[in-house]
Structures are given as structure tokens and as C-alpha cells.
Amino acid sequence: MWQRRAGLRARVKELIVVAQDITAFGADRGKVEVARLLDELNKVEGIAWIRLLYAYPERITDEFVAAMVRNDKVLHYLDVPIQHIDSDVLRAMNRKGDEGTVRAALEKLRAAMPGYHPAHHAHHRVPRRDARTV
């Protein structure tokens, strides 16, 4: 299906699935289907492995993690943009979730995938939207 539409003929070593938040795949059509996407991509012949970039902590569900685990081509690697760990700072940044959300997501990934390799980005200060920092 997907491979025919994409015209995948040559062997591809790595497929990088990248979006601002891959866990939102399908939400624009009314149903989040990232687990189904991973299931379908895993079936594509010629792809050696699949790397996932980016997933926000508050959207890392059990279904998503299970899809990462059951699909052998999906690397146990996930880039999670952690904008801060302090709940007050996250609230000031108008971000969803809190320290507990971030920690729970990381623990969920580590528990399901013993070989999980975290990749995280963290801000070290609250960004200001004024002339001094733009």
C-alpha cells in the first residue's frame, strides 16, 4: 500500500519519521493513528529500521509505546523535547503537562524497552518574547 504509492524500489537503510509531534499523526482527520502508521511502515520491505522524531511527553500513550515494542524495525529511540522539568516554569511557558508527566513518560519508555536510548532537548531558562531575546 504505502510503499507502492511512494514508489519505494531501492533498499532504504533508515526511515526517519519526523514531525513536530508524531504522536498526533491522524488527529487532523479525527483519529490519532500513530500506532497503525508504525504497524504499516514495519511491513515495508527494504527498510532496515525506523527512527522516530519527536514526541511530546504528555502524548506518549501505552498504545504508542506498544507499537514501538511490537514493530521490530522501530528503533528503541525516541526524541522527546523536554522544555523544562519544573512544573511552575512549564506553566509559565504555557506548556501542557508537568514534572510528573515528563517523568511518567520517560519511565513508561524505559519499562517497555530495556534498550531504550533517550534523546531529549531541554531549555535552561524561560524564553522571553521581547526585543532582548528575539
The series of mean pLDDT values per 10 residues for the chain, 134 residues long, is 52 87 93 95 92 91 96 92 79 81 91 80 52 40
State the pLDDT at residue 6.
Answer: 53
Cα separations in angstroms, 52 against 62, 80, 92, 105:
16, 10, 28, 15
Residue 118's nearest CA partner among 71, 60, 72, 73 is 60
Q: What is the pLDDT of residue 134?
A: 36
> Would you state the pLDDT for residue 132?
41
For residue 123, what pLDDT is reported? Answer: 52
For the entire predicted model, the pTM comes to: 0.78
Query: Taking phi first (over 0 means left), then psi (-120 to 50 degrees means alpha), and beta for anything else, what does residue 26 get?
Result: left
